[in-house]
Amino acid sequence: MRKAIEDELKQPQPLFIDGKAYVPNHGELIDVVNPATESILCQVHAATENEVNLAVQAARRAFEDSTWKGMNPSAREKILLRIADLLEQNAERLGTIETLNNGKTIREGIGDVEPSADAFRYYAGWTRKIYGETIPVDGGNFVYTLKEPVGVCGQIVPWNYPLLMAAWKVAPALACGCTIVLKPSEWTPLTALELAKITKEAGLPDGVLNVVPGYGSVAGEALSRHMDVDKIAFTGSIRTARLLLKASAESNLKKVSLELGGKSPLLVFDDADIDGAVQAAMAGSFANKGEVCSASTRLLVQSSIKDKLLDKLTSRCEQMKVGDPFDTNNHMGALVSKAQYEKVRSYIEKGKTEGARLITSEAKQNSMPDKGYYLRPAIFDEVKSHMSIAQEEIFGPVLSVLEFADEAAAIQIANGTSYGLVSAIFTKDISRAHRLAKEIKAGVVWINRWNGFDSAAPFGGNKQSGWGRELGKNALDLYTTDKCVWVNI
């Protein structure tokens, strides 16, 4: 299958606008690089402001003529269920494309498909359950509310989970009756284009979902400033989020929801299951090469158990195999790009300069290819809260270990960054677990585990980790608006 896909990709990949492949006449192409080999995987036509305008016009037509929002809810439900089925049926193809494009292991690439399908299946169930309420008021009036789709949605998704992040945004927007212009990262546009083809096959009407790969400074800027876009949903960096907010303020004050970065703490107390905490730290820090907004990048360990935990953690880390993402014996593939590789390397050097102690080997394994953006996982001990590696999001396989003496110190360190996305507490003291869950400033708290995700459970952050909640019932609020109707009876 891999060879067949690579052969398919030899031709420049078109945009997807108004239900069909669209090739711009300007001829500008984006080189899409395979990070595992550093070679050009394919080229994709780049969306400019003109193509964004065409996509928004298609989405607006589909919204205003009620092609989608006016469809019977049961019919919309069936289409979303069909999308879920087709995603699962094409899991190997989608996973292979994701691995070629992103550098994650084939196990992770295929593994992203099931939760993507589950998002469509979950929100399919909501299509017939989105409704308003009646409100008792004074004065002989009958008052009720309507929950209506917000309109044309611009959705900008990142490069670390290209298919999954698209599913998290597209599925609830479709369930609510919205139409969409989706802009994937120019680094990883391929599974978004595959998703568009799948929705077409499933029966989604033309214009309801449009996909416009392009550069953020061009296509993203045009989408965020477009006067006919009613809402922007974004996952990515704080820097880009600020630009989107400015664009919204300077255009039509469109709604904006933001799922941003994290510097998330994993707290391990002296009564914890150390083996369970080590397993969580490994998964939380090095899954998907550490290119995860919810990574457990700060490991907070109580002083009395730190040495024991670090012995186990470093032993596990040194056994990790890094290399060809299609080799199922490897645990980590390649970082997504040369720019990201160099960024992570710079943070490792900065950690050393600031006085933290690198306790894992940087030596390449014999199995690691000469070409490719491969990096061994790095663990720093003796990290202080003021250091850059403890404050700034690195987005790579780098773990900072911070020591604490007691509960009060743990909370102070945990809350001591500008982020507030996720967190975890490892302890056998259930009272402490619930007490600290209230004290930690984060949108998600996991107790005695890391990375608990379900389509039904809301996800999002506090502070500079974003606005709004994706997944669960909460995501419906991002794509609906309430209308209040008064009837004088």
Tell me if residue 259 is catalytic. Answer: yes
Tell me if residue 293 is catalytic. Answer: yes
User: Residues with Cβ < 8 Å from 142, sequence gap 6 or more?
Assistant: 134, 486, 487, 489
CA 77 to each of CA 7, 73, 126: distance values in angstroms, whole numbers, following the listed order: 35, 6, 8
Catalytic residue of the set 51, 108, 186, 259: 259
Bridging pattern class, strands 255-259 and 466-467: antiparallel
Answer whether 248's CB lies under 8 Å from 469's CB: no
User: Residues with Cβ < 8 Å from 399, sequence gap 6 or more?
Assistant: 281, 285, 286, 296, 297, 299, 377, 378, 379, 380
Catalytic residue of the set 42, 153, 176, 293: 293
User: Residues with Cβ < 8 Å from 129, sequence gap 6 or more?
Assistant: none
Distance linking the first and last C-alpha atoms of the chain: 66
Gyration radius (Cα) of the chain, Å: 23
**Residues facing residue 232 across a β-bridge:** 154, 256
Q: What is the distance between the alpha carbons of residues 448 and 200, in angstroms, rounded to a whole number?
A: 42
Q: How many Cβ atoms from other residues are within 10 Å of residue 168's Cβ? A: 26
Q: What is the distance between the alpha carbons of residues 151 and 390, in angstroms, rounded to a whole number?
A: 40
Answer whether 361's CB lies under 8 Å from 318's CB: yes
Q: What is the distance between the alpha carbons of residues 238 and 11, in angstroms, rounded to a whole number?
A: 35
Which residues does the annotation mark as catalytic? 259, 293
